[in-house]
Structure 1
Amino acid sequence: MEEVKVLNQIISQTIDTVSTSREKIFEIGERSRNEHAYLSKELEQTKQKVVEVIDKVDKSSLHARHARNRLAKVSKEFQSYTNDEVRVAYEQASEYQVEMAVLQQEEKLLRTRRDDIERRLKNLQDTISRAEQLSVQMSVVFDFLSSDLKKVGEIIEDAKEKQSFGLKIIEAQEEERGRLSREIHDGPAQMMANVMLHSELIERIYQEKGIHEALKEIRGLRKMVRSSLAEVRRIIYDLRPMALEDLGLIPTLRKYLENIEERHGLTVHFKHLGIETRLEQHFEIAVFRLIQEAVQNAIKHASPTEVLVKIEMKRNNVMVVIKDDGVGFNPSTKKDSSFGIIGMKERVNMLNGAITIQSEIEQGTNILIQLPVTTV
């Protein structure tokens, strides 16, 4: 009994340590993201300054060359010019030479600063990626240590299977949380930050230019808030389309693809063949997620102009085709979209189905999914 108490104390202390470390990793990631955003803006400004200084150097070099030619002519024909003309020619040549030297030094400093910022941005990006990876890993450890796996243990007798099963569940949850966190950070959170900055700008405009100019900015702010609200609704819808439970798979898919067509400005063809019947809820959700993942992959990585989604429902099976006319890819080469494809394959395997992916560079992508089903 005493040994169990000591073991519990050790686990509790370990959980506290992991929790603290996870928070510190998150703070490091946030600071790195903020610094990355600031330096990215500074890099753009520095690049613009480099272009401007180079232009000035070219003009100054041209002026300096003309001034030197003028001075050479005056020196050669010294007797033909007054003392003032000689002095002016000499001073102009000297001034342009000094100006060009100053500009060249400024260009050198700006180029050095630009290169330094680019190196820092690369290091920050590595830090951000590492922090995100560590955060997920620490969360997996934290959840695994703090979760009660007794009920799982009753089902899975072997200890190794229990550990593997628990980790897979937690990893899937953390990956989904990470994806949602990034969507909120890059979407609504960023928009709300812009709203805050815009509101401060409106206050300043009101004080400096009056109510009419401020009202113009308020109209722009209203559009920004409306856009933010639409993004929040989209994220909520992507988490769990409520129409799926009420209307069923086919009407929900039709509505989702119509929204995709409006949001991304591409043509989406949706075809439904065979019977239209309700399926088991978990199966409808799985089919919806598979189509959603395939369409999102196409939009994100393939830049298509048209997407075809066809679903054929028979009594004992469902066949789904998702086809796009995008840039395509080499299936044997690892791409950024490979994680989504792996997730689709795992979901299809869980349903005892089969998935075939055909793609070639500049030839689009064709995904065929076949799933055995039982109706409600």
Structure 2
Amino acid sequence: MQQQFQQQLLKSQIETQEETITALGRELHDNVGQLLNSTKMLIGVTQRTITNTPETLTIADETLGKAIHELRGLSKSLSKEWLQQFNLIDNLKNEVNRINAANQIHVNLQVLHVITIASNKQIILFRIIQEALQNAIKHAQAKVIDIKFHQANHVFFINIVDDGIGMPISNAPSNGIGLINMQQRTNLLGGTIQWHADQNGTAVNIQLPIKSLEND
């Protein structure tokens, strides 16, 4: 009963977070987005009234255009429709490409098996993996991170291995908020998560029953 209570509590918390995210996305699009568009329009009007437009004003206009483009992408990613159509593999590929584009860390993604996962659970799983990546980048000082998806005996496995300095004992799941979130989210999916760390790097091993992933 205690476990069921915890699962229901976590589910309610995640639903509340999704509602908050949707509202935030709408606010970014309807309010902040309109303010930025109005500002860009005013810059355009000013440019047309000046014979020799200062380079700083041109750069400001280009920068503002990029900000508006980024904001549109962000607000779209926070919409309820986007959440309902969320695709784990596609978004994970985008995350990997974003990290690799900086040419500081290389992430390898290996998907040996693809299974059907309910959209709301794909989001939870994505957040778990995202947290593992951020830990490897920020704390483990990793240069190479390998992510592997595979399945066996009705169990879905996700392995995230880096070549960093290892995770200190002080960052064990009982002490780190990020790791606690990973643990709770994995529990919500009916699975288990384990960390193995030494001077050669950290391995995060996640096991999830396929049946629990397929059902809403």
With the length of structure 2 as denominator, give the TM-score of the two structures.
0.64
**Structure 1 residues 312 and 170, CA gap change in structure 2 (3 angstroms):** closer
Residue 366 of structure 1: CA displacement? 1.4
User: Larger % of helix: which?
Assistant: 1
Which contiguous aligned blocks of 4+ residues in structure 1 show a shift greater than 6 angstroms?
A: 165-168, 238-241
Q: Which of residues 46, 57, 71 in structure 2 aligns to 1:218?
A: 57
- Contact 1:249/1:278 (<8 A) preserved: no
Matches within 5 A, 1:1-376: 169=12, 173=16, 211-214=51-54, 216-232=55-71, 233-234=73-74, 236-237=76-77, 242=82, 245=85, 248-262=87-101, 265-274=104-113, 276-314=114-152, 316-333=154-171, 338-360=176-198, 363-374=200-211, 375=214
Tell me the secondary structure at the aligned position of residue 326 of structure 1.
Answer: coil
CA-based RMSD of the aligned residues comes to 4.5
Cα 1:221–1:262, aligned 2, differ >3 Å: closer, same or farther? same
Question: Quick one: distance in 2 between partners of 1:239 and 1:338?
Answer: 29
User: SS at the partner of 1:279?
Assistant: coil
Corresponding residue SS for 2:157: strand
Quote the offset at 1:371 in angstroms: 0.6
The 8 Å contact of residues 298 and 324 in structure 1, kept in 2 or not, is answered as yes
Structure ranking higher in strand proportion: 2
TM score, norm. by length of structure 1: 0.40
Q: What SS class does the counterpart of residue 370 from structure 1 fall into?
A: strand
Instruction: Compute the displacement of 1:222 (Å).
Output: 3.0
Query: Which structure carries more relative contact order (alpha carbon 8 Å, separation 6+)?
Result: 2
Counterparts of 2:9 and 2:121, CA distance in 1: 23
Q: Where do 5+ consecutive residues of structure 1 fail to align?
A: 1-155
* Deviation (angstroms), 1:268: 1.4
1:19-64 CA-to-partner distances (Å, cap 9, x unmatched) read xxxxxxxxxxxxxxxxxxxxxxxxxxxxxxxxxxxxxxxxxxxxxx
Q: Distance in 2 between matches of 1:172 and 1:244?
A: 12
- Alignment CA distance shift 1:352-1:293 (3 Å): same
Report if aligned partners of 1:253, 1:288 keep a CA contact under 8 Å in 2.
Answer: yes
Q: Is contact 2:166-2:197 (8 Å) kept? A: yes
* C-alpha distance in 2 between matches for 1:265 and 1:230: 25
**% same residue:** 24
Residue-pair matches, total: 194
Distance 2:176 2:106 in 1: 24
- 3-state DSSP class of the match of 1:290? helix
How far residue 177 of structure 1 moved from its aligned partner, in angstroms, is 5.9
Distance change in 2, residues 1:241/1:351 (3 Å): same
Q: Secondary structure at the match of 1:242?
A: helix
Deviation at 1:351, TM superposition (A): 2.1
CA-CA distance at 1:326 after TM superposition = 3.2
Distance 1:333 1:277 in 2: 32
